[in-house]
């Protein structure tokens, strides 16, 4: 059985501990590899390598850094299919979906290629007589990223291209459920000409995370994952004096107004709910039907849910693969049962799904799409982030009621409105307490040159990720006030606080 090792100082290393964890192929339910579980000695080895690399990397020119990013971007493009298949084999999502996440991650590399422009400082001439002011930003040092299973390529790509392009060195602690993408990316960076020690990977779970949070040599931590762990990482990291950005879980509502094109809305809500088996932080997990649209909407949603093709992620024609683990499959199926007990109508029941035509999938972690109607805000199916292919329909009378429902929810990652009315869309986007909003767009993931981040329990702390916020997060500003006196110029130095003249 293959063991996936750490990647420290330019190559794979077995790590100091003998502990490993299984990595499954969720479509077959079979173990496909073991992953090393790192601890403080491994984190320390990575930080030592990254600290040494920082000395030279932070002194490299912007041209050199953007050339590495251009080469890395090209390699990501050339290896998209291979990396996509690797992700599909450990995560379960379809190869096309995996290629989509790589493409969206590559956009962040493209943003980082333009580093020379985005890192420009500003200059003020003659702020006082003979005095100028300029500012610039410098890297922090060694920074770390701790990432979730659901986007093993894209979420780390939200972090490391910007951290590295701005002159930092990086330690990635990916999810232990689908760890191979991290090493694949490390190899691409090596081939792109990134010096050894600039990008490192330590695998593992809580022990590795705790070692990162406790390590004095790490200046900043970027975290993406569930809200309880985001809160823990934020609190622990901040107490240890680090800069921390921590993105958490979600419950994303898609509101459908009576004037919406039902077929269009239902099509997009279905894809947003069941794509990647609902294991996206921007997945649509709640459809809010406003007024008389409800019965018609549920009817179309039911038809669409029944049309979803469930199968292994690498089979042509598959829309939706398995869940990531057996525990996730059991949790989601249990939640559907609880919803029925609590009074929801199970319109489509995905429990106990058997995948036709794929005998190798008999032990896979599959569940089919589930559609729940007449869900209320008090039910667990609404309150909990199920992170599976379950769409809950809530019925309200007005758009303002829909907005109030969204605002009362503790999460505020993404939301969407389906309508033909500009007035309603404007009211919605101005009044919802959510960070990322779609108008007739179900999964409104911002482009890389904007920043990604929710509100409330979907973002702990105050720093969204990538785009301009990424540059800000991974650098510190300096402001320089300069005077060049003329030779032998007599200037009296005042003892009171300097003002301009």
Give the binding site for ligand NAD (CB under 6 A).
146-151, 155, 173, 175-176, 205-206, 209, 224-226, 229, 232, 247-250, 281, 385, 387, 413, 454, 458
| Structure-block tokens of residue 482 | 């300069």
d(C-alpha 456, C-alpha 123), whole Å: 36
How near is the Cβ of 345 to ligand NAD at its closest, in Å?
Answer: 26
* Alpha-carbon separation of residue 108 from 60, 101, 115, 134 (angstroms): 21, 11, 11, 28
8-state DSSP, 285: E
CA dihedral (284, 285, 290, 291) positive or negative: positive
Tell me how far, at minimum, the Cβ of 147 lies from ligand NAD, in Å: 6
Please report how close the Cβ of residue 357 comes to ligand NAD at its closest, in angstroms.
Answer: 30
Instruction: Give the sheet arrangement for strand 243-247, strand by strand.
Output: 11-13, 6-8, 199-201, 169-173, 142-146, 218-224, 243-247, 459-460
Q: How far is the CB of 278 from ligand NAD (least distance, A)?
A: 10
- Residues whose CB falls within 8 Å of the CB of residue 194, separated by 6 or more in sequence, listed in order: 68, 72, 164
The residue among 411 and 428 lying less far from ligand NAD, judged by its C-beta, is: 411
Assigned token pair, 457? 């329990």
Least distance to ligand NAD, CB of residue 164, Å = 20
Other Cβ atoms less than 10 A from the Cβ of 367: the count is 26
The owner of tokens 């290896």 is 79
Which residues are marked as active site? 281
In the chain, % helix, strand, coil (3-state, to 5) comes to 40, 25, 35
Burial of 500 per CB tally in 10 Å (0-12, 13-18, 19+): exposed
Closer CB to ligand NAD, residue 23 or residue 294?
23
413 or 415: whose CB is closer to ligand NAD?
A: 413
State how far the alpha carbon of 486 is from the alpha carbons of 127, 481, 483, 490, in Å.
17, 17, 9, 9
Find the residue with minimal CB distance to ligand NAD. 225
Q: In a 3-state reduction of DSSP, which class is residue 475?
A: strand
DSSP string, 359-389: GGGTTS-----EEEES--TTSHHHHS---SS
Residue ranges in 385-452 assigned as alpha helix (H): 399-408, 422-431
* Closest CB to ligand NAD among residues 235, 302: 235
Nearer to ligand NAD (CB atom), residue 90 or residue 373: 90
CA distances from 399 to 391, 405, 418 (A): 20, 10, 11
Q: How far is it, in rounded angstroms, from Cα 201 to Cα 217?
A: 16
* Least Cβ distance, residue 463 to ligand NAD (angstroms): 12
Of the candidates 189, 198, 148, 137, the one whose C-alpha atom is nearest the C-alpha of residue 171 is 198
CB closer to ligand NAD, 249 vs 322: 249
Please report how close the Cβ of residue 438 comes to ligand NAD at its closest, in angstroms: 15
Instruction: Report yes or no: 69 and 112 within 8 Å, Cβ to Cβ.
Output: yes
Looking at the Cβ atoms of 109 and 229, the one nearer to ligand NAD is: 229
Cβ proximity to ligand NAD, 80 vs 178, nearer residue = 178
Comparing CB distances to ligand NAD, the nearer of 286 and 355 is 286
Q: How far is the CB of 68 from ligand NAD (least distance, A)?
A: 26
Residue 368 CB, shortest distance to ligand NAD, in Å, is: 21
């Amino acid at each position: 059985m293959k063991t996936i090792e750490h990647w420290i100082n330019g190559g794979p290393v077995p790590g100091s501990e003998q502990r490993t964890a299984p990595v499954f192929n969720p479509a077959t339910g079979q173990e496909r590899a073991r992953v090393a579980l790192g601890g403080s000695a491994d984190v320390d080895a990575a930080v030592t390598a990254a600290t040494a690399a920082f000395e030279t990397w932070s002194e490299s020119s912007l041209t050199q850094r953007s050339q590495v990013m251009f080469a890395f971007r090209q390699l990501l493009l050339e290896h998209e299919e291979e990396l996509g298949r690797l992700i599909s084999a450990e995560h379960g999502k379809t190869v096309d979906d995996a290629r989509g996440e790589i493409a969206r991650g590559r956009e962040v590399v493209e943003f980082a290629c333009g580093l020379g422009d985005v890192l420009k400082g500003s200059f003020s001439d003659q702020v006082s007589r003979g005095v100028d002011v300029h500012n610039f930003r410098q890297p922090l040092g060694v920074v770390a990223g701790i990432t979730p299973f659901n986007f093993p390529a894209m979420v780390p790509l939200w972090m490391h291209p910007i951290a590295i392009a701005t002159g930092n060195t990086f330690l990635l602690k990916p999810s232990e459920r689908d760890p191979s993408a991290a090493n694949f990316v490390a190899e691409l960076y090596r081939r792109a000409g990134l010096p050894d020690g600039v990008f490192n990977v330590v695998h593992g779970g809580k022990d590795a995370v705790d070692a990162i949070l406790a390590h004095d040599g790490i200046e900043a931590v970027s975290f993406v994952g569930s809200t309880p762990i985001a809160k823990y990482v934020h609190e622990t990291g901040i107490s240890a004096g680090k800069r921390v950005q921590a993105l958490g879980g979600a419950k994303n509502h898609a509101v459908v107004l009576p004037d919406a094109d039902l077929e269009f809305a239902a099509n997009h809500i279905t894809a947003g709910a069941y794509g990647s088996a609902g294991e996206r932080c921007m997945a649509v997990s709640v459809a809010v039907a406003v007024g008389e649209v409800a019965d018609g909407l549920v009817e179309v949603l039911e038809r669409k849910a029944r049309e979803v093709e469930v199968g292994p992620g690498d089979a042509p024609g598959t829309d939706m693969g398995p869940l990531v683990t057996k525990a996730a499959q059991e949790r989601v199926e249990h939640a559907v049962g609880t919803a029925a007990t609590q009074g929801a109508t199970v319109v489509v029941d995905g429990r106990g799904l058997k995948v036709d035509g794929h005998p190798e999938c008999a032990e896979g972690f599959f569940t089919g799409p589930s559609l729940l109607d007449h869900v209320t805000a008090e039910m667990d199916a609404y309150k909990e982030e199920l992170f599976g292919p379950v769409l809950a329909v809530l019925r309200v009378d007005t758009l303002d009621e829909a907005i109030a429902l969204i605002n009362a929810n503790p999460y505020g990652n993404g939301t969407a409105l389906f309508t033909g009315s500009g007035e309603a869309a404007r009211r919605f986007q101005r009044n919802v307490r959510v960070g990322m909003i779609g108008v007739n767009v179900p999964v409104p993931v911002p482009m890389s040159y904007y920043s990604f981040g929710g509100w409330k329990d979907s973002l702990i702390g105050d720093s969204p990720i990538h785009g301009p916020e990424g540059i800000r997060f991974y650098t510190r500003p300096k402001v320089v006030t300069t005077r060049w006196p003329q030779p032998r110029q007599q200037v009296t130095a005042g003892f009171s606080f300097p003002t301009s003249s």
